[in-house]
Amino acid sequence: MSDAISTRLNALVASMESHNLDAILLNPGSSLPYLSGLHFHISERPVVFALSKAGKVSIVLPELEKQKVTHCPYPISSFTYSEDVASWQKAFSAGLSFLASSGAKNVGIEPRSLRVLELRLIEDALPGVKLASCEALVASLRMRKDSDEIAQMKVAVDIAQKALLETLPHVKVGVSEREMAGLLIQNMLKFGSGGELPFQPIVAFGANSANPHAVPTDYKAKQGDMILFDWGANTNGYFSDLTRTFALGDPGETLKNAYAAVQAANAAGRNASKPGVTAGKVDDATRNEIVKAGFGPKFTHRTGHGLGLEVHEEPYIRAGNDAVLDVGMTFTVEPGVYLDGLGGIRIEDDMLITANGSESLSTLDRDLQILPL
């Protein structure tokens, strides 16, 4: 991993000039471990990692966590503070002083991750410096997964699939969404998922499945209900994110037709995923199938999103997105149809762009399965 980290840091430094950045600051989040190999949780104690375009690195961190940087595979200067909050600004001013002394004017940050807590400390340490988003630059590196990252994601997919197959036999009339969500989590841990799941599983039965982001309730499954599972596992910080929808007994013609439309849309999206195609074109491919089947207004969200160290990251598979898909990119294809008061269907797969097209990392059956009562 040390070689991968060095390669990523060098690539980041090489790209700073073209983005008019003199340095980049990162706080705890997904980009920090990816680029530095250092793992910190967001907490009441601020942490900021600084990298200059000259390749110099420093970090400001709590004294109690200073051992985390003792074995870094690259030179790093650490500046610690105590439990006395008054010591924080002194540590930040010292830790970022090399940027001020080098004349840094434009410094990159990640607005979606940086808290006001760290922002104020940075602003006081670097008065007059312009802070600009570096999210596009960092995303351009993170979107293209290397072989090790892909291997981790494949394991996360395998864990998730095994967990669902272990859970499905327990879905019967009378079981609750909450019960099945708990069992699914238990099975993911059983098969090796890290405890920090990408999200709490969405387990929705009947009319509740028409809510794309439903939260499991005490609702008990009834005959004819759609049974929707949206879940994912974690392998060393890399996530999977899958959705499969089933029927508990015969769901009726309307829902069967909606399922057929979603299944065709999922296949179209997977087939459209290849190098050189824009993310927007993949969304077009899925949406056209659902519109053709007469359910267009009932597909209320984008086709998918990037996947990796975050469950939602670049590239976003949405209408009009001109981002071009490239080898190593990983994302979801998850069209859906949601019929208020009746039920919803979503089929979600995790995709990898390859040199020759794409590969679905997920392989669970996509045909409508009628679960026994």
The CATH number linked to 256 is 3.90.230.10
Q: Over the stretch 339-352, which tens digit does the pLDDT of each residue have?
A: 999 999 999 999 99
Q: Is residue 160 domain-shared with residue 262, that is, in the same domain?
A: yes
Q: Is residue 67 domain-shared with residue 151, that is, in the same domain?
A: no
Q: What is the pTM of this model?
A: 0.95
Q: What pLDDT does 279 receive?
A: 98
Q: Among the three residues 93, 119, 142, which one is the final residue of a domain in this structure? A: 142
If one counts every other C-beta atom within 10 angstroms of the C-beta of residue 23, the result is: 26
Q: Among the three residues 98, 117, 142, which one is the final residue of a domain in this structure? A: 142
Q: Is residue 98 domain-shared with residue 195, that is, in the same domain?
A: no
Residues 260, 261, 262, 263, Cα dihedral to 10°: 50
Q: Is residue 201 domain-shared with residue 84, that is, in the same domain?
A: no
Q: Is residue 25 domain-shared with residue 112, that is, in the same domain?
A: yes
Q: Is residue 133 domain-shared with residue 155, that is, in the same domain?
A: no
The CATH number linked to 12 is 3.40.350.10
Q: Over the stretch 182-219, which tens digit does the pLDDT of each residue have?
A: 999 999 999 999 999 999 999 999 999 999 999 999 99
What is the C-alpha to C-alpha distance for residues 348 and 328, in angstroms, rounded to an integer? 19
The number of folded domains in the chain is 2
Q: What pLDDT does 1 receive?
A: 54
Q: Among the three residues 127, 142, 157, which one is the final residue of a domain in this structure? A: 142
Q: Is residue 197 domain-shared with residue 339, that is, in the same domain?
A: yes
Residue by residue, pLDDT tens for the chain (373 residues) are 578 999 999 999 999 999 999 999 999 999 999 999 999 999 999 999 999 999 999 999 999 999 999 989 899 999 999 999 999 999 999 999 999 999 999 999 999 999 999 999 999 999 999 999 999 999 999 999 999 999 999 999 999 999 999 999 999 999 999 999 999 999 999 999 999 999 999 999 999 999 999 999 999 999 999 999 999 999 999 999 999 999 999 999 999 999 999 999 999 999 999 999 999 999 999 999 999 999 999 999 999 999 999 999 999 999 999 999 999 999 999 999 999 999 999 999 999 999 999 999 999 999 999 999 8
- Per-residue HEC secondary structure of the chain comes to CHHHHHHHHHHHHHHHHHHCCCEEEECCCCHHHHHHCCCCCCCCCCCEEEEECCCCEEEEEEHHHHHHHCCCCCCCEEEEECCCHHHHHHHHHHHCHHHHHCCCCEEEECCCCCCHHHHHHHHHHCCCCEEEECHHHHHHHHCCCCHHHHHHHHHHHHHHHHHHHHHHHHCCCCCEHHHHHHHHHHHHHHCCCCCCCCCCCEEEEHHHHHCCCCCCCCCECCCCCEEEEEECCEECCEECCEEEEEEECCCCHHHHHHHHHHHHHHHHHHHHCCCCCEHHHHHHHHHHHHHHCCCHHHCCCCCEEECCCCCCEEEEECCCCCCECCCCCEEEECCEEEECCCEEEECEEEEEEECCEEEECCCCCCCCCEECC
Q: What pLDDT does 26 receive?
A: 98
Q: Is residue 263 domain-shared with residue 318, that is, in the same domain?
A: yes
Q: Is residue 268 domain-shared with residue 152, that is, in the same domain?
A: yes
Q: Is residue 12 domain-shared with residue 51, that is, in the same domain?
A: yes
Q: Is residue 167 domain-shared with residue 314, that is, in the same domain?
A: yes
Q: Is residue 343 domain-shared with residue 228, that is, in the same domain?
A: yes
Domain range enclosing 300:
147-371
